[in-house]
Amino acid sequence: MPDAVSGALANCPVGGSRARGRTRAASFGLDASILVALLAASSAPTPLYPLYQDRWGLSALAVTVVFSAYSLALLSALLTTGALSDRLGRRPVLASALGAQAVAMVLLASADGAGSLTAARLLQGAATGVATSAAGAALLDLENPRHPGRSALTNTTAPVVGMAAGVLLSTLLARFAPAPTVSVYALMAALFAAQAIAVPFTTETVNRRSGALRSLRPQLGVPPAVRSTLLTTGTAIVAIWALGGFYSSLGPALVRLVAPHAPQAALGMVFFALSAAAALTVWVLRRTDPLTTAIGGCLSVLPAAVLTLSGLHGLGLPAVYGGAALAGVAFGAVSQGVLRMLLASLDERYRAATLAAYYVLSYLSMSLPAIAAGAATQYYGLRTTSHAYAVIAALLAAAALTALAVSRTRTRPDSRTRNRPLR
């Protein structure tokens, strides 16, 4: 039926182009909403970790393992299915992944311990990995020539908006809903089910090709045109995503350490401060040169680390929240700048694979340091671990700043003009 509708529109001599334009616009909106929903679901458990800890007696290490199970499953999916939608088409891959995502939400709602919670997060991560690269590539396919750069802007904005929305929604439902560890997942399950039903009616942007099974072999298909950019910006990606992993997994525990009597809502909202600041930064800097944006983001990491740590030395909760917001500025600036540099003039055949490579590096940087930090808290405590984590993040940012500065001196002025501003 969806293909029949598309065919009828294509053959309609009067108003056909307008109808196709509306269909493409609706498809773009749905794909953007899918990215928002995926990342909202990924951050929804963050405000609930303190509840899980109190209810099941989880340690900080157990929390980071639950958090990282999602990231590692997502990585596995990206490594195996990152280019799958280039072969099968965007619609079938997205619809299947969204169905699995809805099942994961049901499993999260019914979790009764660390084991079942981890299993649900594994399924969620795998489904997110499959859907993220397909939805992101579909947005690039649907680029409107009259609005150049809008697809890249959406690919950068939707994830951070989603993370902020997920934390905020989960916090509000945990405060006011009767079943705090069920309500947010039930709502997200319904949303994913509705999106899965809607996807087959969107515009398909990829012709089905052979080689789907071969594409499942673990690989990172980075085209030569962006390899040097990914190498140059890799350290910056590691630095800001490692910061994001710290605030997402151990941020609530840090708030509890600094302000033991803070209300429950304040624990999870520290990650909201980061993701909301990141979303605002992406929007404000959308017209700024991407290399300049990434450099500015790296410069923000050091004061973010210093401000956060000052909360442990007498400045209290405002400093922790201020540090998280400044870390969000760094996150938004670096991620936007790097993605714009990677996606500029990229051939459509490599879009899904390039996005998959970017997210593989990102989520490795988010999950592995978080696991190490969770283990370190078992032996050295959260205070000492936070200091070490901040120092390492600052050193990574300094190394990234050096690499980006060298790249800037080697970049000819005319090559920078190819990175068009986002609108």
Average pLDDT, consecutive stretches of 10 residues, N- to C-terminus, the chain (423 residues): 45 56 81 91 85 82 81 82 74 91 95 89 91 83 73 78 88 84 93 93 76 63 71 86 84 85 78 88 87 91 90 87 92 87 68 73 82 84 90 90 80 48 49
CATH code where residue 281 lies: 1.20.1250.20
Q: Give a yes or no: residue 5 inside a domain.
A: no
CA distance 206 to 209: 9
Dist. CA 224–CA 222, nearest whole Å: 7
* 2 domain residue, yes or no: no
Residues 269 and 251 sit within 8 Å (Cβ to Cβ)? no
Question: Which one, of 373, 395, 371, 375, lies nearest residue 386 by Cα?
Answer: 373
pLDDT attached to residue 215 = 59
Per-residue model confidence (pLDDT) at position 121: 93
Give a yes or no: residue 388 inside a domain.
yes
- In degrees, to the nearest 5, what angle opens at C-alpha 189 toward C-alphas 188 and 192? 85
Dist. CA 170–CA 114, nearest whole Å = 19
- Residue 367 located in a structural domain: yes
Q: Are 358 and 76 in contact (CB under 8 A)?
A: no
> Collapsing DSSP states into helix, strand and coil, what is residue 59?
coil
Q: Residue 169: name the closest of 54, 276, 78 by CA.
A: 276
CB neighbour burial string for 98-123, b if at least 16 within 10 angstroms, e if fewer: bbbbbbbbbbbbebeebeebbebbbb
- Spell out the residues 6+ positions from residue 135 whose beta carbon is closer than 8 angstroms to its own: 31, 34, 35, 38, 90, 94
pLDDT score at 11? 47
Q: How far is 253 from 370, CA to CA, in rounded Å? A: 13
Give domain status of residue 355, yes or no: yes
Q: Which amino acid is at 316?
A: G
Nearest to 94 by CA among 123, 121, 127: 127
Domain assignment of residue 118, yes or no: yes
Q: Is residue 12 part of a domain?
A: no
Q: Is 343 exposed, middle or buried (0-12, 13-18, 19+ CB in 10 A)?
A: buried
The pLDDT of residue 110 = 92
Contact 393, 269 (CB under 8 A): no
pLDDT of 99: 94
Number of domains in the chain: 1
CB neighbours of 61 closer than 8 A, spacing ≥ 6? 374, 375, 377, 378
- Which pLDDT value is given to residue 6? 47
Whether residue 421 is contained in a domain is answered as no
pTM: 0.74
Range of the domain at 412: 18-202+219-416
Q: Which residue is listed with tokens 């209290």?
A: 316
